[in-house]
A = this chain, B = another copy of it.
């Protein structure tokens, strides 16, 4: 590294820091008074790139930072509310949110920042257990701020040299971890797991029928994709979008723990072939959405190889799996690794396939006569043109934690979920949705208020129980004390689906959740 250059950057920072501290230039004490720029007379046009906009800009941005730092401290404080819940029509009335022709002052802009955070859900709060409860990682947050400051785009090396290299380094590391030899293969970060899954399906189709790119589905036989009943709904969404159709997504049965049954997969593949369909894609899941189940990957890989079908794995957690023989894998660091939203990677075993499948060689972006190795221009590997920089937060967190840090964090969540399971499995008023310890951090359970406990099994009891979780959750939100998911599944009425992925949570927070469920639900 160029130490001298970095040192001089440090000098620049010191100047900024000094300027910020002494920003009230006329202060006779020469002390550390804060700014007295009156933002009620200043507008965005007074900031940079305005020639003398430095001071106003630094002061304005620092004020926003102070608002955010205040919010962060409050977010981790258990005495604050997780949410100050307002109904949509009420919230619309609580501030003037309308857009107008005329500008407002920077003072008003700051007021708007405060108002926005005032009614935001504190996803960093140790008692936030709702969807994507991955907390707020401080290094990840810093990295996301820096990403915004760099304000660039992943399509070419020339506009994002460092980020493109970090994506390259990180994807290679991820492929090594999942056991692909020497980290060979390909991949890309995409806007979320659903898009990564769709990209995988797109690649599988192209691999089998490359003519689809030019000629469309009309030139193909009818295809069939396979995934378990409990897989994520994005597989069907992807099939609908890609013109494959949801009817061509064949749902494979799961066992009582939510794992795909390999024999049923094979039976359905054979059956599809007999009906004249062409099986092209199997999506297995490592950590299903609801039960947190791990499909038996080895058995599924054997079946895929036997029938010549692309195997995709939708992974929700840093996998501790034997090297699979998957063709592609969706790995979402914005889940159990707690990387700020969004951060999803698609890993692909075959090099060059993504480029062939998606490239259109736009001459205004992907000139072949650039001075550098244009294989670093990754933009043509995806459907997107511009692509948000999602890599830096993952990379910086990985540097800060090391692989061992991510493992420890996930182990802690697993420990908490086992604690929750142990606590409620024999507790009066609770029933587990499936038996046995959770495979992952998902704990699914019913809470039965006393009045329901003594009812006989039957439709009326089910009807009553179905209403319990929604009411308890609504009350949690009204009080603002905690948030947790619930849902029905198949013929099972609404149950709580607790996914522990918030690194801020402790045993006491789990105890609190149980107490809160009982406090808010005992009268139902």
Write the chain B residue with the least CB distance to A236: B360
User: Once the chains are docked, how many angstroms separate the CA of A100 from the CA of B1?
Assistant: 18
- Interchain CB contact under 8 A, A16 and B66: yes
Query: Could you say which residues of chain B place their CB within 8 Å of the CB of A497?
Result: 364
Minimum C-beta distance from A214 to chain B (A): 5
Minimum C-beta distance from A15 to chain B (A): 8
- Interchain CB contact under 8 A, B49 and A76: yes
- Interchain CB contact under 8 A, B131 and A364: yes
User: Once the chains are docked, how many angstroms separate the CA of A67 from the CA of B142?
Assistant: 11
- Interchain CB contact under 8 A, A234 and B385: yes
Chain B CB within 8 A of A303 CB: no
Given contacts A341-B388, A400-B106, contact A247 B214 (CB under 8 A): yes
- Interchain CB contact under 8 A, B141 and A156: no
- Interchain CB contact under 8 A, B146 and A117: yes
User: Once the chains are docked, how many angstroms separate the CA of A92 from the CA of B161?
Assistant: 10
- Interchain CB contact under 8 A, A124 and B151: yes
A231-245 contacts to B, CB under 8 A, are 232-234, 236-245
Chain B CB within 8 A of A324 CB: no
Minimum C-beta distance from A292 to chain B (A): 12
User: Once the chains are docked, how many angstroms separate the CA of A61 from the CA of B17?
Assistant: 13
Tell me which of B111, B121, B217, B234 contacts A217 (CB under 8 A): B217
- Interchain CB contact under 8 A, A97 and B165: yes
Query: Could you say which residues of chain B place their CB within 8 Å of the CB of A194?
Result: 383-386
Given contacts A43-B400, A135-B49, contact A169 B97 (CB under 8 A): yes
- Interchain CB contact under 8 A, A13 and B365: no
Tell me which of B238, B290, B365 contacts A131 (CB under 8 A): B365
Given contacts A152-B120, A243-B243, contact A342 B485 (CB under 8 A): no
Minimum C-beta distance from A103 to chain B (A): 4
Given contacts A9-B114, A238-B383, A358-B240, contact A369 B470 (CB under 8 A): yes
Minimum C-beta distance from A127 to chain B (A): 12
User: Once the chains are docked, how many angstroms separate the CA of A232 from the CA of B385?
Assistant: 10
Chain B CB within 8 A of A333 CB: no
Tell me which of B193, B360, B376 contacts A88 (CB under 8 A): B376
